[in-house]
Amino acid sequence: MIDTIAVVGATGAVGRIIVEMLLARKFPARRIKLLASERSAGKPMEVGGVSFDVEVLRPESFDGVAIAIGSTPDEVAAEFVPWAVARGTVVVDESGFFRMQPTVPLVIPEVNPGAIDTHTGIIASPNCSTTQMVMVMKPLHDAARVRRVIVSTYQAVSGGGLAASREMEQGTAAWLAGKGETKSVFPHLIAANLIPQIGSPRPGGSTSEELKMVYETRKILGDESIGVCATCVRVPVANCHSESILIETEKKLSVADVRRLLAAAPGIVVEDDLDAKLYPLPRTCSGSDDVFVGRIREDASSPTGIALWCVSDNLRKGAATNAVQIAEYLVAHPAKLSWERPAVRA
């Protein structure tokens, strides 16, 4: 049991789910503190029948806080995380700011929980699209070493935040009614459309979202030799990211092998019966903490290739659930809540 856990960015879509999960899972903390910007703070927030006062995010907010889970933009994380760490708080950070820093472990608890032991105050949670793919890759990598992955993502608008979800809802209604549509979040109209760009352009023609999948995958699995080719697409789906994945391994695995390995892996549910039209769908996977896999088949063009379809709730396992699981690990291993503190307070 710890005294206080803080949720930074508590009024956002993921932040609210984090608070819901802490309550539902009976997280062992005497107090849950909610922190947000001045714009969002100062108003009561009810979650799961419990009323919270949302406090303004400032350095002294972390006095007496053992663990903080942050769900904020990169620029906010860059500012608040050092405040928290300087006060002895372990930060589980959802932003992309710290993920690729060499001294910061990038963690999926079902994949590399041991990396948590190396933290010095900051533990990063991966990008949502990376998380579900690596969950699938891990048991296959352990059994036959993954050499290469080709992935196309079909990412829901919820990944863009509450404003993005509203834009799709309003745009879809306008499109169906034959009225004019507007856009402010996405670079193109999202209703009845696909946008093959998530993130900013990078040299070579990739986007920042695609390169996250490349570099984060290698860091989590501890293997810089894995080839990853990603194409990330925003789709007019409310929630849950879907991925079409081709995995090439060093040692050949049969479809039966893959089904067996995935079915035995924690956090993965296999739904794979094409004759019965059984496979993961965003509408049926939404609200779950698991990663769902189906359409498992051999790739006829590759001697060791396995193709599959993967769906996961990007707001939960892709974000909130993963962070809460890391926090639960820390409480279950209280020695991990201590590390060499900086000498000067921020």
For residue 157, give the CATH number of its domain. 3.30.360.10
Instruction: State the Cα–Cα distance between residues 99 and 78, nearest whole angstrom.
Output: 12
Q: Which residues pair with 122 in a beta bridge?
A: 91
Q: Are residues 133 and 245 in contact, defined by beta-carbon separation less than 8 angstroms? A: yes
pLDDT digits (tens, 9 = 90+) for 87-137: 999 999 999 999 999 999 999 999 999 999 999 999 999 999 999 999 999
Which backbone phi and psi does 269 adopt, to 5 degrees? -120, 125
Give the strand order in the sheet containing 241-249: 227-234, 146-155, 241-249, 305-312, 291-298, 268-270
Q: Is 233 domain-assigned? A: yes
Whether residue 139 sits in one domain with residue 84: no
pLDDT digits (tens, 9 = 90+) for 247-272: 999 999 999 999 999 999 999 999 99
Query: In a structure prediction context, what are the per-residue pLDDT tens digits for the chain, which is 346 residues long?
Result: 999 999 999 999 999 999 999 999 999 999 999 999 888 777 889 998 899 999 999 999 999 999 999 999 999 999 999 999 999 999 999 999 999 999 999 999 999 999 999 999 999 999 999 999 999 999 999 999 999 999 999 999 999 999 999 999 999 999 999 999 999 999 999 999 999 999 999 999 999 999 999 999 999 999 999 999 999 999 999 999 999 999 999 999 999 999 999 999 999 999 999 999 999 999 999 999 999 999 999 999 999 999 999 999 999 999 999 999 999 999 999 999 987 654 444 4
Instruction: Please give the single-letter amino acid code of residue 329.
Output: Y
Check residue 346 and give its pLDDT.
43
Whether residue 276 sits in one domain with residue 327: no
Check residue 27 and give its pLDDT.
97
CA distances from 174 to 16, 22, 157, 178, 189 (A): 29, 38, 17, 6, 11
Q: Is 63 domain-assigned? A: yes
Q: Is 60 domain-assigned? A: yes
Q: What is the pTM of this model?
A: 0.94
Whether residue 273 sits in one domain with residue 149: yes
Whether residue 87 sits in one domain with residue 30: yes
Q: Are residues 127 and 209 in contact, defined by beta-carbon separation less than 8 angstroms? A: yes
Whether residue 295 sits in one domain with residue 202: yes
What region, left, alpha or beta, does residue 318 occupy, with left being phi > 0 and alpha being psi -120 to 50 degrees?
alpha
Check residue 33 and give its pLDDT.
97
Whether residue 44 sits in one domain with residue 14: yes
Q: Is 43 domain-assigned? A: yes
Q: Is 292 domain-assigned? A: yes
Check residue 70 and give its pLDDT.
98
The packing angle between helices 208-221 and 128-144, to 10°, is 40
Contacts of 39 (CB under 8 A, 6+ apart): none
Whether residue 85 sits in one domain with residue 201: no
Instruction: State the Cα–Cα distance between residues 334 and 63, nearest whole angstrom.
Output: 18
Q: Is 248 domain-assigned? A: yes
CATH number of the domain within which 58 lies: 3.40.50.720
Give the strand order in the sheet containing 90-93: 44-47, 50-56, 29-36, 2-8, 67-70, 90-93, 122-124
Q: Is 268 domain-assigned? A: yes
Whether residue 175 sits in one domain with residue 64: no
Whether residue 197 sits in one domain with residue 50: no
Whether residue 28 sits in one domain with residue 133: no
Pair of tokens at residue 330? 């820390």
How many domains in the chain?
Answer: 2
Pair of tokens at residue 69? 């889970």
Q: Is 262 domain-assigned? A: yes
Whether residue 20 sits in one domain with residue 141: no
Check residue 340 and give its pLDDT.
63
Catalytic residues: 128, 241
3-state class (DSSP) for residue 16? helix
Check residue 338 and give its pLDDT.
84
Per the structure, the complete domain to which residue 42 belongs is given by 2-97+320-337
Whether residue 174 sits in one domain with residue 309: yes
Q: Are residues 47 and 19 in contact, defined by beta-carbon separation less than 8 angstroms? A: yes
